[in-house]
Amino acid sequence: MRRKPLLGDRRFRVIHNTGPEWSLQIKGLVESDFGFYTCIVNTNPVITRTVELKNAEPARFAPVLMEDTSFRRRIEVKQGETVTLTCNFNAYPKADVQWYKRVQDESGKMVKRSLGKGNTFTIREISSSEAGDYICMGNNGMGRPSRGKTKIIVKVPPTTPAPITTTTQFVPTGPAAPRLYHKEQKVEQSRGRSAFMECIGVGQPRPQLEWRRNGHKIEEDYKYGLVRGAEGPHRATLRLEVRYLLQRDFGIYECVGHNNLGLIKTEFELIKTE
């Protein structure tokens, strides 16, 4: 039996050098090799001895995201601040961590853009364009990778841009706080007539628009009409009609645009003509 292959597997060999000792040699251990082995001596009565082969290393297992205090599913920061994302995985062997961000490609499809490696990812002086979903992926080659996702919301201080014509509207290529556009900020009309003011908002996500008078939101009724214009993926239009103009209707009106990245407003003036 010396050096005779066991069960046709050349990794197994029974070795007998001298004396009463016999040994089983296993080369290139794999996970399925661990367990119990029995040596049988063909005597009368038969003698058996069972030995357990244990794995000296910890059990190997696929990564599992550790949702401890260091991991956050949602983070709100102000524009210009520094934010650090953290992902830890329980795994053996240790998982390699890769960071991605969900972005929109030229065709409008959402794809993952690779950012870097490591358990942490830091963004310094964050801007509104860096808001969105960040994904950490842990992989150690054991089973399926594990992942975590954090949504970053960047708060932008309200600002009122200078008048801009509708021909110069920008097209956002990623998350962006709202911008407002208009054709006329000063609208002239006489008493008893109707006046119209139009406000256009552009942002990503598409902003929500509303009109305000003296700090109060305008709702549609007998005095006011609200008409939403053509909308696109990033563009919204809201037209205000002020009917049957009275003296108290003249003055300042506000258009307000907002999304989860910021709020912006601009003023319109309704002027009485004779």
The domains of the chain are located at 4-53, 61-155, 160-272
pTM, full prediction: 0.44
Per-residue model confidence (pLDDT) at position 164:
44
DSSP state of 60: P
* Class of the domain covering 61-155: mainly beta
DSSP state of 141: S
Sequential pLDDT tens for the chain (274 residues): 333 445 567 788 888 777 778 888 888 887 778 888 888 888 888 888 888 888 877 777 888 888 776 778 889 888 788 999 999 998 888 999 999 998 877 666 788 889 999 999 999 888 777 888 999 999 999 888 999 999 998 886 654 444 444 445 677 778 888 888 887 889 999 888 899 999 999 988 889 999 999 888 999 888 899 988 877 888 899 999 998 889 999 999 999 998 888 888 889 999 998 7
- C-beta pairs of 242-250 under 8 Å, 24+ apart in sequence: 242/194, 242/195, 242/196, 242/197, 242/270, 243/194, 244/192, 244/194, 245/189, 245/190, 245/191, 245/192, 245/193, 245/194, 245/195, 245/270, 245/272, 246/191, 247/191, 247/272, 249/195, 249/223
Per-residue model confidence (pLDDT) at position 53:
87
For the domain covering 160-272, report its CATH number.
Answer: 2.60.40.10
Per-residue model confidence (pLDDT) at position 157:
63
